[in-house]
Amino acid sequence: MNWLYRFIPLRDDFITNDYGFIYKITNLETNKFYIGKKAFFHNKKKKLTKKELAEQTGPGRRSTTKVEQVDSGWRTYWGSSKELLAEVKSLGEDKFEREILHFCSTKKLLTYYELQYQIQYSVLLNDSYNDNILGKFYRKDFVTAE
């Protein structure tokens, strides 16, 4: 199942210069939803080969690693909520809709807009798969505080 952006399916060869996106995954039977963020790429440290180490020139300490960008697997991503992942597995992917809400150009903006959308959708007060915001505000704290 593809991601939707403004209800238009994104192709597999979709290309953007953005860092990542904010998404909403909705259970089409119950309308329960999840708001999260996903980067398009991750930086991965890789040890240099002997040949690459030998090619290094210049003064100073020589690097033993290099950083490579690798695909984050965003095309097949279903969020980090264990409850959501269990329901996707048991009900099937066709019972869910994956929608991109916002593209972000930097890591910092990605975190900001995730927070903004989670608050906008009141994820801790509504029936959502989100059980916390920023790892600081938890659903259990709001249920007992009211």
Report the DSSP beta bridge partners of residue 98: 25
pTM of the model: 0.83
pLDDT digits (tens, 9 = 90+) for 111-134: 999 999 999 999 999 999 999 999
Using an 8 Å Cβ cutoff, are 98 and 3 in contact?
Answer: yes
Label residue 143 by pLDDT band (50, 70, 90).
low
pLDDT digits (tens, 9 = 90+) for 23-42: 999 999 999 999 999 999 99
Other Cβ atoms closer than 10 A to 130: 22
CA dist., res. 21 & res. 40, Å (int) = 8
**Residue (of 15, 19, 28, 47) closest to 99 by Cα position:** 28
CA dist., res. 30 & res. 4, Å (int) = 19
How far is the CA of 46 from the CAs of 53, 61, 66, 68, 114, in angstroms? 12, 17, 5, 7, 30
CA dist., res. 4 & res. 50, Å (int) = 45
